[in-house]
Each structure stands twice: as C-alpha cells, then as structure tokens.
Structure 1
Amino acid sequence: MEAAELRRAYDALLAEIEAGGFAPPPPGQWRAEQVAAHVVANDELLLRTTEAVLAGSPWVYYNHNELHNPQLDAIIAECGGLPGLADRLRESSERVSGVIGRLGVHGETLVHTLIRDGFALRVDEPLPWGRVLDLHGRLHLPTHTDQLRALRA
C-alpha cells in the first residue's frame, strides 16, 4: 500500500469522527469514542511492530489486547473524549503513513499475526508485514469508517 492511499483511508475515518452526531450503538457494539480509541491503540501497535521489523527483531502482532472496553475507555479518558481522540488519531495516522515508505524489502518480513474481530478469529498465521499494513488501510480503516457512519443519527 502506498502512503497516499493509507492517508486517504485515515482522512475518511477522521472526517466521520469530526462530523459527529453519533447515536448510541446497538447493544454489544462500540460507541463512536470506542471505535476511535481502538484505531488509536491499534496504530500504536502497528508502529511498535513496524519499528521491530525495521530493526530486524522478531515480533508478533496480536490485536486482541486492543479490543477490550476497559482499555478503550482509558484511552478515551486520557484524550478527553472524541475531539481529543481525533487529534491523537491524526498524529498516530501521520506516523503510520510515514513508516510505509521506510519498509522497502522489510515489507516481506513474516510477522505472526493474530487478528480478532470481537470474539471471531480472523487471522492466525505469519503474514508479510507489508500485507498486514495493506489490510489495515484497505479493510480495517474502511470497516470502522462504515461503523461510524452507521452510528450517525
């Protein structure tokens, strides 16, 4: 994935967050603030993993720790709500978009990847790290953008 493509996916997500007007979610689903906090937390995990890959260190990417409501609620409190989350996401998205260009041949580095969506296991296998970042931009971010659109009253 090119940095410009990833930037567009983040910009679409940020536009939804900034548009506001979110209704409470259906039971069992995340509030808009929790969606934004999840992406912020996931960005930090992507950055830690990418730095390890660039340094040649073995690493695993397990997103399951970034999904739990108490952790998300702590990030929300730390950021002071949706406007602060948007600011933090803008900063983390710039950093994630920036590392794409640094990957080069390291994008082929296999990283054991475990991705959960709620309680469903989506991925549990080694993947080239560039592919994981591609999935983030092409699937993960648009999924959460759509999730936010659905929460708009």
Structure 2
Amino acid sequence: MESGGLRQVYGAVLAEVEAGGFGAPPEGQLTAEQIVAHLAANDELMSEATEAVLAGSPFAYYDLETIHRPQVDALVAQCGGLDGLSTLLRATSQKLCTLVDRLGPAADTPVETHLREGFDLVVDDPLPWGRTLDLHTRVHLPKHLAQLRMLRDGPVRAPAPGS
C-alpha cells in the first residue's frame, strides 16, 4: 500500500487551514480549530492501529467524534490556535503516511473498525486495515475539507454599518 492519495488529500486540507479566514460554524457544528484538532487526534489513533497491524497485534479502531470531543477541545487549547494545530496536523499526517507506506500485504489485516460519517457511512465490523485507510482518504478527510471550505466561504454577510 502506498500513501500518495492520502498525502494529496492532507495537502489540500493543510492548504485550506493555512489559507485561514474561517468564520463561525453553524450551531452545533465544529469550528475550524476543532476540525483540525479532530483530524490530528484521529491521525494518532490511525497511527496506533497501523503500528499494531505492522507488529501483528490485535487492535480496534474507533473514529467517533463524541469520544474525541474532550481530547479535541484540549488540543485546541494546548496548540493555541490554527498555527499550532496546523503544525500538529502536519506532523501527525506525515507519521501516518510514513506508516501506510510500510504496510504492504499487512494492509489486508482485519481490524475491528467503528466509523460514523453522518448517516452515509456506518461501520461496526472488522475491515481490512487498508480499506479503513481508503475510507479515511476518500470519505473522512474530504468531508472535513468541505467543512473547512464552508467555514471560510461562509454565508454572505451584510456590510458593517457605516461602510
């Protein structure tokens, strides 16, 4: 297994983060900072799972935002804003991509996987780890990239009074 597609999507996410200019999210949605922190926390979990697969150890992978919320909020505070979070995401994504490049045939190893991507994707079964990584590349990261773009583009705002 190789990480070319994964690196490409991370590049797009990081470029969006570095472009900045994010507005407030709609009620109940994540801020740009929380999205980036979530991705970094998720990268750490995916790296742990990939390391376990490479070592031949059993592992269960959970990507549930509600489990990560306290960790996400702590990461936002710890990193002190988007610059720090961008640096963290760059490091965690690089580590994950490097591990993915080492997987080879181990990508077929089944890993107990629990994913929730809204109502569109629900997985509560063992999946070959390479398949989970593919879902991360083709579904999870693009979903959050779209959220970041929405926060940057945001609704058209009326000009401030007196302008």
**TM-score (normalizing by structure 1):** 0.93
Residue aligning to 1:40? 40
Three-state SS of the structure 2 residue aligned to 1:9 is helix
1:1-53 per-residue CA deviation (whole Å, 9 max, x = no partner) reads 63121111000000111111111000010000000000000000000001011
Q: Which residue of 1 aligns with 2:4?
A: 4
Matches of 2:119 and 2:31 in 1, distance apart?
A: 17
C-alpha distance in 1, partners of 2:130/2:68?
A: 26
Larger Rg: 2
- The equivalent of 1:111 in structure 2 is 111
CA distance in 2, matches of 1:35, 1:66: 13
Question: 1:144: which partner in 2?
Answer: 144
Q: Tell me the residue number matched to 2:123.
A: 123
Contact 2:110 2:128 in 1 (8 A): yes
Identical aligned pairs, as a percentage?
Answer: 56
Matches of 2:73 and 2:6 in 1, distance apart?
A: 26
In 1, Cα distance between the equivalents of 2:114 and 2:149?
27
Shift in Å, 1:69: 3.1
Give distance in 1, aligned partners of 2:49 and 2:110.
11
Residue in 2 that maps onto 1:97: 97
2:135 corresponding residue in structure 1: 135
2:98 is the alignment partner of 1:64: no
Q: Which amino acid aligns with 1:27?
A: E
Name the structure 1 match of 2:161: none
Structure 1: runs of 5 or more not aligned: none
Q: Please list, as runs of the form range in 1=range in 2, the aligned pairs for 1:11-26 lying within 5 A after superposition.
A: 11-26=11-26
| Residue number in structure 2 paired with 1:83 | 83
Q: Does the 8 A contact of 1:36 with 1:85 survive in 2?
A: yes
1:127–1:96 Cα change, 3 Å: same
User: Residue 120 and residue 137 in structure 1: after superposition, are their counterparts in 2 closer, same or farther (change >3 A)?
Assistant: closer
TM-score by length of structure 2 reads 0.87
- Tell me the matched-pair count: 153
Distance in 1 between residues matched to 2:44 and 2:87, nearest whole Å: 14
Per-residue displacement from partner, 1:74-127 (whole Å, max 9, x unpaired)? 011111111000001001111111111211111000001001236987111110
- SS for the counterpart of 1:126 is strand
Classify the secondary structure of the residue corresponding to 1:123: strand
